[in-house]
Chains A and B, each alone.
Chain A
Amino acid sequence: MYKMDFSVVLQSWDLFLWGLWLTFAYTTASIVIGVVIGFAVCFSRLSNNWFIRLLARAYQEVFRCTPLLVQLLWFYYALPLLLGFSLDNTTAALLTLSLYAGSFYAEIFRGGILSIDRGQTEAAKAIAMSGRQTMWRIVMPQALKRMLPAFINQSVIQFKNTSLISVISVGELAYMAAVVNGQTYRPLEAYTVVAVLYFALLFPMTQVADYVERRLRVSD
């Protein structure tokens, strides 16, 4: 019978902590950039120009309909061949994570905006608001509130997805587990620690999402 011993693994606590920080950093950075991309793409999809709509749609479908793992490998190994210069793995990782997040956020934002009753836009127009005023003062505040649970859920998924960047050797939490396992030959302990750390990080977030969702249902 295998005898569990976490002490060896936990001696590398600094590696785990470093990995946790990296995961957190890549995720937040990609969420921030993803939100910017998401808004840009969302408004492109609501544009009056069919060509802009088409481009935005194409981008979204490409990133939503291919696995993130394949995207990471493609951006790191394939894209440099097209560009003629290489991307370092951290750039490729952040770029891919952000584009991936952006495609999903765009859909969440678009759904939120479209879910706002047409009467709201009409009432804003009736007091002579411009399109921009209508969007930012009337539609968006209501839409943001409504899209919040979906946004948090997508961000939780993004946290987990960040573990995939280890395939292009970018250090983060899951990568550190592999490193510690390599040093200690204790896969059970190493990977258990990582799983627990992920859970400790994400469980509160899902609880927040649930809470927000319940609150919104009451206030609507």
Chain B
Amino acid sequence: MDLSAPATREAKAASASADVILDATGLRKSYGKLEVIKGVDLSLKAGEVLAIIGPSGSGKSTLIRCLNMMETPSAGVIRYKGRQVETRFASRKERVGYGELRRHVGMVFQHFNLFPHKTVLQNICEGPLVVLREPRESVEARAMDLLAKVGLVDKRDVYPNHLSGGQKQRVAIARALAMRPDVLLLDEVTSALDPELVGEVLEVIRALVQDGMTMAIVTHEIAFAADIADRVAFIDEGVIAEIGSADSVIHQSGTARLRTFLSRFHS
């Protein structure tokens, strides 16, 4: 009797789907009568870096915010490691609540949103201490490692309003990483920065790419996206108009809308 063949096939199927950390199918989002996301299928594999580009108002933020349930989708399914995410905080049986989802899927915002009443170190430790309920010692040690990684060890006891924009964003990234997420969602994290501060943040992201972090990155830094992303998705009017390798989307695509969009960055 040969039981190994089907078992192997099953294992293969399981590992193939286990490879996908986060995926959305048939995703739609409306605000009142305005439909902003009009049926999107998207998946993120472990270690993959996906860049999301597109014109202003095309729905990039809305899409990425649906992935950690910051926005509740109007239709469609989000799955975390194959388990369907539902619109309640607590997980239930095989369904994932958004509490659990967000423990594994971190997010960094355009406007940093650091907690102004907490020091840099407290900002970073807040999630692991309060949400994950980890012991303070190990959390603080990890926070210091992260501060070293983003180059801000000397700022540990400073309040956020004493930091530059670039420093704030690096702390925000450290805060998200302190949760030890599987996936990081970045929504235009350099758009609110003075041009001379963009580089230091991109550098941190580049280091994360090297570490193998799974990320979805909404960005207007097209050259940067082309450089680091495994795949690039071009969102236009609420749909993924084009998706593929950075090369095929950014350098070789012949789509008129995409070319027009990209041409604005070559000026």
Q: Please list the residues of chain A having a beta carbon within 8 angstroms of any beta carbon in chain B.
A: 117, 119-120, 122-131, 133, 137-138, 141-142, 145, 219
Closest to A130 in B: B89
Residues 98-128 of B, flagged 1 when their CB comes within 8 A of A and 0 if not, give: 0111110011010111111100000000110
The answer to whether A138 touches B115 (Cβ under 8 A) is yes
Residues of B within 8 A of A141 (CB): 117
The answer to whether A128 touches B127 (Cβ under 8 A) is yes
Given contacts A120-B115, A137-B126, A138-B115, contact A126 B131 (CB under 8 A): no
Which of A119, A122, A126, A130 is most buried by chain B, counting CB atoms within 10 A of its CB?
A: A126
Residues of A within 8 A of B102 (CB): 125-128
Q: How many residue pairs, one in A and one in B, have C-beta atoms under 8 Å apart?
A: 58
| 8 A Cβ contacts from B124-176 to A | 126-127, 130-131, 161, 172, 175-176
- Which one of A123, A128, A145, A219 contacts B131 once the chains associate, using CB atoms below 8 Å? A128
- Which one of B68, B130, B161, B179 contacts A137 once the chains associate, using CB atoms below 8 Å? B130
The answer to whether A127 touches B126 (Cβ under 8 A) is yes
- A58 vs B50: C-alpha distance in the bound complex, in angstroms? 51
Residues of A within 8 A of B241 (CB): none
- Say if the beta carbon of B11 comes within 8 Å of chain A: no
CB distance from B86 to the nearest CB of A (A): 15
- Which one of B117, B131, B161, B176 contacts A133 once the chains associate, using CB atoms below 8 Å? B131
Residues of A within 8 A of B75 (CB): none
- Which one of A117, A126, A219 contacts B70 once the chains associate, using CB atoms below 8 Å? A126
- A23 vs B217: C-alpha distance in the bound complex, in angstroms? 61
CB distance from B126 to the nearest CB of A (A): 7
Residues of A within 8 A of B109 (CB): 119, 122-123, 126
- A141 vs B161: C-alpha distance in the bound complex, in angstroms? 16
Residues 12-39 of B, flagged 1 when their CB comes within 8 A of A and 0 if not, give: 0000000000000000000000000000
The answer to whether B113 touches A127 (Cβ under 8 A) is no
